[in-house]
Amino acid sequence: MNVTEIPVTCLVDSRDKLGEGCFWDADAQCLWWLDAIVPSAIHRLHVASGAYRRWQFDEMVTAMAKRTDGTLVVGSFKGVNFFNPETGALTPWTRLDSDKPFNRGNDGACDARGRLWFGTMMNNVGTYGADMPITASTGTLYRIDVDGTATAMEQNIGVSNGPCWSPDNKTFYFTDSMAQIIWAYDFDLDAGTISNRRVLNGTKDYGYPDGATVDRDGFIWSARWEGSCVLRIDPKGRIDRIIPMPAKRVTNVCFGGSKLDTLYVTTSRLHVPEDHLRRHSLQGGLFCFDPGVSGFEKHAFAG
């Protein structure tokens, strides 16, 4: 492994309390991301022109994917919603964990068949972003089909994060941030099932694994909460590169740009110590850098 000092640019000083949910829309050449903490927000940036727009909500929004009709599917505190950028309306669709009122939604992504994989966790965010303890691994990883059916695929998750797939769609990666483990599973694309869970990477040396994506070489890019970096991890779980970031809490990553060769990175400034904020005042911003490899546009939701 090697520490790779790459120039990192802050594209938007959005000061997100908890930046998350980033994805690239190749059709519109726009980058979408969100701020999860209420009042939460969805951001959209047209990178070439700098045109920027923001929508605000009174429910925590935590994950997003585009739909073929130009709207978005949005994971939130209570479940899954549809968002119309033209009207600004966030419309509830499927509710999750109704039997676990202390749970909330977290990260999610769509597979190559357009099914949404969305994870829940015990809520750790109080009023105005106050920290709340996670006392049990009550999270579930769901597969949300296009008709809204939610199927539990994995249980007893501490903090659900980082769903992504190998380029051949034969391996599914999923992170439990609380356990500090990135898992790998065998993935059946046609059936939409996972099996043979094993540890891909369980390092404790670079903070907590958060959001993740996969490049064209099949390497996993892992945002590191409290780790001030992004890791590139090979398909056997070995750390290949360490990219330092000017933010302590690095939350999610996605490939974008006209050639899908830019890595966009979201961050958080919530509860970051004052000494860190003084050293890196742009924490909570949207960053990007040239990773030296291209990736994939995230899949759209088929429903």
Of 97, 111, 210, 215, which is the active-site residue? 210
Q: Is 210 a catalytic residue?
A: yes
pLDDT band at 253; cut points 50, 70, 90: very high
pLDDT band at 3; cut points 50, 70, 90: confident
In a domain, 302, yes or no: no
The pLDDT of residue 129: 82
Q: Which residue has the higher pLDDT, 131 or 172?
A: 172
The rounded distance, in Å, linking the Cα atoms of 106 and 211 is 10
The pLDDT of residue 127: 78
In a domain, 32, yes or no: yes
pTM of the model: 0.97
For residue 293, give every residue at least 6 positions away whose Cβ sits within 8 Å of its Cβ, in sequence order, or none.
Answer: 215, 216, 217, 219, 261
In a domain, 295, yes or no: no
Q: What is the CATH number of the domain that holds 8?
A: 2.120.10.30
Side chain identity at 53, as an amino acid letter?
Answer: R
pLDDT tens per residue, range 41-68: 999 999 999 999 999 999 999 999 999 9
In a domain, 55, yes or no: yes
pLDDT tens per residue, range 154-179: 999 999 999 999 999 999 999 999 99
The pLDDT of residue 4: 78
Whether 126 shows a pLDDT value over 90: the answer reads no
**102-134 core/surface letters (b: 16 or more CB in 10 A; e: else):** ebbbbbbbbbeebbbbbbbbbbbbeeeeeeeeb
pLDDT tens per residue, range 258-290: 999 999 999 999 999 999 899 999 999 999 999
| Alpha-carbon dihedral angle through residues 286, 292, 293, 295, given to the nearest 10 degrees | 10
Arithmetic mean of pLDDT, 249-256: 98
Number of domains composing the chain: 1
Residues of the domain holding 25: 2-289
